[in-house]
Amino acid sequence: SLDRIQGLGRSGSTAAPPPTAMVAAAAERAECAVCGFVSRPRGADPQASMARHVADRARAGCAAHGVAWVRPQAKRRRAAGPAQLRWRASRPIPRHRNVARLALDAAVLACVRAEFEAMAPRKKDDREGLDLSARSDLFAAGRRFAVVQPAWGKSDIRWVSARDKSTLAYFSGLFSELRIAELAAPFLGADPAASWVMLAGYFVARQLVRKAHFHTDFSGTAAKAFTLMTPLHDMAALPDSCNLLCKTPGGLRRYRYVVGEAVIFGDDFVHATEPGDAGQPVAFLSFTFGSKKMTSEEWQCAEYYIAQQCPIYRDPAGKIKYEDAVAR
């Protein structure tokens, strides 16, 4: 199902899913998450009709529909027919203006996962498990990574970020290869993709979350700074934990992470990691990125958060900044 945001009641029980920005569909209708077009076909699958609408708009040159369109392989399209056309949309999570989903290249993410697992520390008694107790720097393929643990101590989360310029360039390369700025630009206002730059990159690893830590990453940036999170491990078969909880005017929501999809969020988005034990460490690729048009005051608000997670990062003008003198 495309609907992975669920309403949670006060008791923690799962309530009926609310309408989502990706698909608002009943049995007889489907609404385009990009432009609001409503399909009410008679005697046909409304989702297949919607897929054709998105594909037609994408082929006509609409960038937003182009991001939402999953181009089917020619052989599969001929064999399965138009009813099998698929579509997905990057669209704000309901009732919050500064959140969107992006469809990323799963093949690139698979390579990133392999690179992370090759350098991540291992438990001595479990060759398959990541050692989340590590606090020292990591070295792999000529790169040096810093391991940072947050001060609030409500989970075993670790931020694994660049320790030097060459490793920061590694994350910049991933940001470009995944086309983050290009994919995100249609949902971030009128500024073109060239206006959005990576500020910092991380791997995020965690398994156990003892208590939800609700917070905002950014505030006061005028929607010019964002965090991106995308999982490197398939979390579909894991217990309900380590997903994303978010507070909205409509109540508490859960976003389920899916490989090949990223969620981006900016100013005033109150969120937390879902409490629980995933049963195994899970890793994410994360970026903070922002607009080159940030004012000094807006950048100061963004930098306050970024500097807590990594010793080296860039400002909107591309200048390298050091929070830790060891990184020099």
Instruction: List, for residues 123-174, the tens digit of each pLDDT value.
Output: 555 544 555 565 567 877 788 998 888 776 778 888 899 999 999 999 999 9
pTM of the model: 0.69
DSSP codes, 241-290: -SSEEEEETTEEEEE---TTEEEEE-BT--EEEPPEEEEEEEEEEEEEEE
Question: ∠ CA 263-38-88 to the nearest 5 degrees?
Answer: 30
- Distance, in Å, from the CA atom of 246 to the CA atom of 214, rounded to the nearest integer, reads 8
Low-confidence stretches of the chain (pLDDT < 50) are 1-27, 71-95, 127-128, 325-328
176-219 pLDDT per residue, tens: 999 999 999 888 876 777 889 999 999 999 888 988 889 999 99
- The DSSP string of 212-231 is ---B-SB-SSSS-EEEEEEE
CB 284 within 8 A of CB 273: no
67: enclosing H helix or E strand: helix 63-68
Count of beta carbons in the 10 Å neighbourhood of residue 310 = 26
d(CA 51, CA 112): 30
Residue 319's pLDDT is what? Answer: 94
What per-residue confidence (pLDDT) applies to 134? 56
Strand pairing partners for 30?
A: 39
Helix axis angle, 106-119 to 165-177, nearest 10°: 160
Return the pLDDT at 151.
Answer: 73
Residues 6+ apart with CB under 8 A from 185: 63, 191, 192, 193, 195, 196
